[in-house]
Structure 1
Amino acid sequence: MTDSFREGGVRVRERRDEDLDVCAELLRVVHEQAGYPINWPAHPRGWLTPASRLGCWVAELDGRVVGHVVLTAVGERAEVERLFVDPTVTRKGIGRRLLDHCVTAAAGFGRELSLEVVDNRGAAVHLYRRAGWTETTRTPIDWGGEHATELIRFSPPART
């Protein structure tokens, strides 16, 4: 799916191979400052490119990569994964634009969409709720250590 749109100075486009180093470094900053992902991956570039991906996109602001998201196939469904935004540009609607892009892409693939987040991600949970996503379930986890005890599943807002 080749899709790109620009709104408010932010452009969402397909991620290219040459973006991976920038995305991996941005992921490190997000991990250090915001604790995402909760467990640092042994191979960040590979983690950013799961085999089950339907698409990978980045958000650019003034030509600089400032966000990332992956849409993966989970059976017949799609799931938002690997969503993060540069901490220096949060609260500018970038995460919301990446989420909206996934809603559109999943519809284009004819798949129902969802996402999961660990309960330590207060800012992420607030983003999803502000964007109209609805919490559907909570599942206990044992891999979050003292930082997270539940996995929260969300469904997207109804399409109009």
Structure 2
Amino acid sequence: MSLTIRPRRDDNLPALAAALVRVHAQDGYPVEGVADLEGWLRHDRELQSWTALEDGLPIGQVTLTRATSDDDAARTWHDHNGGDIDRLTIPARLFVHPDHRGTGAGRLLMEAAFEFAQTNGLSVAFDVMLKDQAAIRLYESLGARRIADLTHHYGDGLTEPAAVYVVPR
């Protein structure tokens, strides 16, 4: 097995969308956005996205986004430490195809995002649904610290319990 992480390319999107179908069927992730998979994979505030490839096949991704005051994680981070939201980034869209979990792909994707943020002098905060326990274990193993609980609102009045995490510099 050859696992590599590199910046995502447009030609990765069809394979990543197919992987996301499997992730959604198994985990219910993402809770929204699956009607337009390739649109969900692209984020309007994207700083950089990375793809995990196993033997050349795209099996997962993460996107690092610019934070705004509309983000629950950004507001919570700001309230917690008074930091400048313009210097905050939020990792999003992290997933790994279920058949390729346990390879370290999720860890390597998050490490790529954290390294980019650190290199560019950016702080990192994000929210995660409490139902996504494997993701929470990964984040905590990477040193992320939970600073608050909140309720994620989506769709037509739907909610999901969530937590906000920060990554110490």
Residue 45 in 1 paired to residue 38 in 2?
yes
Deviation of 1:148 after TM superposition, in Å, equals 6.1
Deviation of 1:9 after TM superposition, in Å, equals 3.1
- Which residue identity lines up with residue 42 of structure 1 in the other structure? A
Cα distance in 2 for residues equivalent to 1:38 and 1:22: 20
Residue 70 in 1 paired to residue 63 in 2?
yes
Cα distance in 1 for residues equivalent to 2:93 and 2:8: 12
Deviation of 1:62 after TM superposition, in Å, equals 1.3
What's the secondary structure of 1:141's corresponding residue?
strand
Residue 57 in 1 paired to residue 50 in 2?
yes
- Which residue identity lines up with residue 16 of structure 1 in the other structure? R
Q: TM-score, normalised by structure 1?
A: 0.85
Q: Is the 8 A contact 1:69 1:84 kept in 2?
A: yes
The equivalences for 1:103-142 within 5 A come to 103-142=114-153
Q: Flag the 1:112–1:33 CA change in 2: closer, same or farther, 3 A.
A: same
Q: Is the 8 A contact 1:118 1:148 kept in 2?
A: no
| Identity within the alignment, % | 30
Cα distance in 1 for residues equivalent to 2:10 and 2:126: 25
Gaps of 5+ in 1: 1-7
Cα distance in 2 for residues equivalent to 1:25 and 1:122: 23
Q: Is the 8 A contact 2:2 2:54 kept in 1?
A: yes
What's the secondary structure of 2:35's corresponding residue?
coil
Q: CA offsets per residue over residues 39-65 of structure 1, 9 Å max, x none?
A: 343211111111100001101111111
- Which residue identity lines up with residue 128 of structure 2 in the other structure? V
Aligned residue for 2:19?
Answer: 26
Bigger RCO (CA 8 Å, 6+ sep): 2
Q: Is the 8 A contact 2:15 2:59 kept in 1?
A: no
Which aligned runs of 4 or more in structure 1 are off by greater than 4 angstroms? none
What's the secondary structure of 2:26's corresponding residue?
helix
Cα distance in 2 for residues equivalent to 1:88 and 1:50: 25
- Which residue identity lines up with residue 16 of structure 2 in the other structure? C
Deviation of 1:123 after TM superposition, in Å, equals 1.1
Q: Flag the 1:54–1:142 CA change in 2: closer, same or farther, 3 A.
A: closer
The number of residues matched between the two structures is 150
- Which residue identity lines up with residue 110 of structure 1 in the other structure? G
- Which residue identity lines up with residue 100 of structure 1 in the other structure? E
Deviation of 1:150 after TM superposition, in Å, equals 1.5
- Which residue identity lines up with residue 153 of structure 1 in the other structure? V
Aligned residue for 2:80?
Answer: none
Aligned residue for 1:82?
Answer: 93
Higher helix share: 2
Q: TM-score, normalised by structure 2?
A: 0.81
